[in-house]
Amino acid sequence: MSNINPRVDVAFKKIFGVEENKDLLISLINSIVSKEDQVSEVTLLNPYNPKHFKSDKLSILDIKATNQDGKKFNIEIQISDEADYDKRALYYWAKIYTEQLKESEDYSKLSKAIGIHILNFTSIPDVKKYHNIFHITEKETGLAYYKDLELHTIELKKFSNNSDEKLIDIVAKVNNALDMWSAFLTRNDLLIADNLPKELNSPNLKKAINVLNVMNFTAEEREAYENHLKWLRIEANTLKKAEAKGREEGADKKAEEIATNMLKQNLDNSLISSVTGFSVDEILKLKNKL
């Protein structure tokens, strides 16, 4: 069991963005894209390079790859919910699409570009499913005319956001390969390569767990990893505080509703106080509002 978090972009790219682990990248991509876009081989366009960690300001740690048909893939794990994330996702998709053409080349040279954004936050709160696929479509008919644009969002917190979950709870959610990779990214702490349940018993997953277990960082990589890990911890702590505040505000609102209903029935103030926990002065203020 590794103490390294695969959701931190530094670790993520060391797992999926190196030549010796291209089989893991292929498995991850194929778990996300449609049958027509399945990958049998990939070429890394920006393989992982420890030299990238010599400066304090790190560039986006995405993985760019092309497949046997020339399709382009941009895979990125996003640690925190930054402002205008949606615009940045579209911008990076546009870059990988337009950078295909050299000067004076014909537009027919352009291949489909697929953006895959693995998010450690909830980006689409109105939708329950954690994997969403976006295209440009005609508004009324839904016709997907501009087929070269495709963006995937994988919101990991929708898959697992409960640190108290047991392995049996995670296994119950696994129905396909993307569920398997989501289990690895969210709860690798529960996974042991030599003792996986049948739903997770995949050679690719075993290899990923073993890669994570033996992963070593240089001093620059370790510093980058620790700095990025702080974002995860800060985000988790902020979320807990927000949830606690929300529960407290919800309880106060419910108590106020009960107190108001009891006042409308002309019940005794001391009784209302004992039921709701409000002081007599607070109850009188509520009464004056009626």
Sequence length of the chain is 290
pLDDT at residue 56 tops 70 = no
Q: In angstroms, how far is the first alpha carbon of the chain from the final one?
A: 60
Using only C-alpha atoms, the chain has a radius of gyration, in whole angstroms, of 25
Q: What is the 3-state secondary structure (H, E, C) of 252-263?
A: HHHHHHHHHHHH
pLDDT at site 231 = 64
Structure tokens at 135: 């295209």
Is 17:45 a contact under the CB 8 Å cutoff? no
Structure tokens at 161: 């956001």
Strands 72-78 and 63-67: antiparallel
pTM of the full structure: 0.76
Q: Which of 148, 156, 113 is nearest to 132 (CA)?
A: 156
Q: What is the mean pLDDT of residues 42-49?
A: 86
Q: Helix 219-264 vs helix 9-16: angle between axes, to the nearest 10 degrees?
A: 120
Structure tokens at 52: 């990238």
> Tens digits of per-residue pLDDT, 5-25?
898 888 898 999 999 999 999
Q: What is the mean pLDDT of residues 80-108?
A: 85
> Tens digits of per-residue pLDDT, 142-158?
999 999 999 999 999 99
pLDDT at site 59 = 47
Domain definitions of the chain by residue range: 9-216, 252-289
In the block, tokens 């990988």 appear at: 96
> Tens digits of per-residue pLDDT, 23-44?
999 999 999 999 999 999 999 9
Is 41:71 a contact under the CB 8 Å cutoff? no
Which residue type is seen at 246? G
| Eight-state DSSP code of residue 120 | S
Is the C-alpha dihedral spanning 176, 178, 182, 185 positive or negative? positive
Structure tokens at 33: 């894209």
Lowest mean pLDDT among 51-55, 79-83, 203-207, 249-253: 51-55
> Tens digits of per-residue pLDDT, 214-269?
888 887 787 777 877 776 666 555 545 555 555 555 666 777 888 887 788 777 77
